[in-house]
Chain A
Amino acid sequence: MSTWEKIKRSQIYRSVFRHGYKDTKPNRMHQIVSNVFLHLHPTSVWRHATDIRFTWGMGGITFLLFIVLTVTGVILMFYYRPTAEYAYADIKYLEHDVPFGMFLRNMHRWAAHLMVITVWLHMLRVFLTGSYKPPREFNWVVGVMLLVLTLLLSFTGYLLPWDQLAMWAITVGTNMARATPFLGHEGPFGTELGMKADNDIRFLLLGGTQVGPPALLRFYVLHCIALPLLAVAFMIVHFWRVRKDGGISRPPEHE
């Protein structure tokens, strides 16, 4: 009897692990179907879906980063108040006094940067494998929505530390909205349609004529509630469609 067998038969081992895991076909399927999270998967997939050189795992990594951002983001919300009086001080407090506060903030920021990069790479792999072709056209469209939402999430979050970097990056970014044709007061045909600095589309976005406290609150609500909810909704459709469209795309049998 091997040592491993001896350990497995000992009273202690058997008291902890009531029975072993037998690597059989039904067991492999049960592992997936009897777990609410793993049940996102089918019980079996095309072999090349497990080939890391094919999918690069990029969609999955993007999703993982979204989860990391949700968890760290919720904890950050305990310490952060979205008003001009407190926002900056709360970040300072977080950095210097909250245990692991700096670490938390770092992880939220770096995961956000990384997520933008991984969606970008995921899109590249989907394109290079021609995986947007029928029947997956619509899932590509959903994907583009997710790309836009990812960028908007990142953009709205950028303002929240309320430091010089944040305020001016958002100022540069939102200044372009002034020039929206028809809807911005500096855009073509804007003045003709009665657009002014205090009633055009940029005003709607910022709640003011410049990036001030109302903009901070608006971006906070968008960043923590509206956009994540939208992103989750689109992700649900995205994952569901991956399965409904027949799993990860594969070479047709004849061409």
Chain B
Amino acid sequence: MEQFFHILTRPDNIPIAGMLLLVLFYYWLGISQAVKNDKYGVNRNIDKVHCWPYLTRIEFLATLLIMVILTVWSITIDAPLEELANPSKTPNPAKAPWYFLGLQEMLVYFDPWIAGVVLPTFIIIGLMAIPYLDLNPKGTGYYSFRQRRAAILIFSFGYLLWVALIIIGTFFRGPGWYFFYPWEEWDVHRIVAITNVDLPYLFGIRSYFWSSVFGGGVVLGYYSLGVFFYLYLKKKHAELMKNLGLLRYVIIAFLFLTMTALPMKMFLRIFFNIKYVWVTPWFNI
């Protein structure tokens, strides 16, 4: 445990623990208002008030509060400064800045071109696309869960996954990027026999060519789940799907399946030691 407390109280890590608490608090604050609004309805006759003093006084108090927090924080805790940069001395573990630890954690499960480049690009594009993909006009301007269940659940899945990856990367990853429980000491000499296999191998396929074909089939099959779901939705919610349109649906399904591919791959790796699902001469997934 000593090791864990040491990491937890590192000056740069305190904000991360704080972030976890803040995210939980604000989720509670938002969702509890949503539940209340869903139950009792919202006030739709909102009047106006003068900015001075009603808004400016809040801004003033918030400014004071934040400045007091920052001042106390800056007096009590010093920013870290290690030894002079030395390109020939690699620390173990070498960690990216904490807000990018999600990416570094994804590197465990995907090759760098996916984890470090393709997925972040999709995350940014996907975030930007949200207003153009979510056509549900309900639930604007107030907290609500019932009106927009799917949207909130999908968004929260990604939002909290990112937080979780940061927490894992900061507090549970030690030398060699191995996973260490809080009660374990970091062991720099830890070696874990790599028994990873590729998915086609697990199914008894040994030829390279047929492995590629099989893996490609699995990936295609995974994404074609979107097609089946489309047919299902078209039958069940014809009106909704007509409004949404095919293009929007394809984008949503693709981004959603890509997002859930991460936990799926994590599952395959952790429980079945799967390294790649699809191997080709140019890239591996």
Q: How far is the CB of B94 from chain A (nearest CB, A)?
A: 4
Contact with A along B102-125 (1 / 0, CB 8 A): 011001000111011110000010
A50 and B27: CB pair below 8 A? no
Distance to closest chain B CB from A206 (angstroms)? 12
Chain B's nearest CB lies how many Å from the CB of A95? 7
B42: chain A residues at CB < 8 Å are 251
Is B44 an interface residue, CB under 8 A from the partner? yes
- Given the interface contacts A144-B127, A144-B128, does A38 sit within 8 Å of B52 by beta carbon? yes
**What is the minimal beta-carbon distance from B110 to any residue of chain A, in angstroms?**
10
Q: Residue of A at shortest CB range from B138?
A: A255
Alpha-carbon distance A60/B283, docked complex (angstroms): 45
Least CB distance from A51 to B in Å reads 9
Interface residue? A117 (CB, 8 A): yes
Q: Which of B176-234 contact A (CB under 8 A)?
A: none
Contacts of B100 in A (CB 8 A): 151, 155, 173
Assess the A106–B79 pair: CB atoms within 8 A.
Answer: yes
Interface size of A as a range: 35 or more
State whether the Cβ of B261 lies closer than 8 Å to any Cβ in chain A: no
Q: Give every chain A residue within 8 A of B55 (Cβ-Cβ).
A: 41, 45, 49-50
**A181 interface residue (CB < 8 Å to B):** yes
- B-chain residues with CB within 8 Å of residue A230 when the two chains form the complex: none
Question: Binary interface profile of A, 146-169, with partner B (CB < 8 Å = 1, else 0)?
Answer: 011001001100100111111111
Alpha-carbon distance between A254 and B58 when the two chains are bound, in angstroms: 30
Q: A41-B55, A52-B58, A144-B124 are in contact. Are A249 and B141 (CB under 8 A)?
A: yes
CB-CB under 8 A from B18, the residues of chain A are: 117
- A interface, CB within 8 angstroms of B: 25, 28-29, 31-32, 38, 41-50, 52-53, 56-57, 60-61, 64-65, 68, 84, 88, 91-92, 95, 102-103, 105-107, 109-111, 113-114, 116-117, 120-121, 124-125, 127-134, 136-138, 140-141, 144, 147-148, 151, 154-155, 158, 161-169, 171-173, 175-181, 184, 186-189, 210-212, 248-255
Beyond the given A43-B51, A166-B85, please list 16 additional residue pairs across the A-B interface where CB-CB is below 8 A: A32-B56, A91-B81, A102-B79, A106-B78, A110-B73, A113-B15, A124-B23, A133-B140, A137-B131, A144-B127, A164-B84, A173-B103, A176-B103, A187-B117, A189-B282, A248-B141
Q: Show the binding face of B for A, using Cβ within 8 Å.
A: 12, 15, 18-19, 22-23, 26-27, 29-31, 33-34, 42-56, 58-59, 62-63, 66-67, 70-71, 73-75, 77-87, 89-91, 94-97, 99-100, 103-104, 107, 111-113, 115-118, 124, 127-128, 130-132, 134, 136-144, 147-148, 152, 155, 159, 282-283
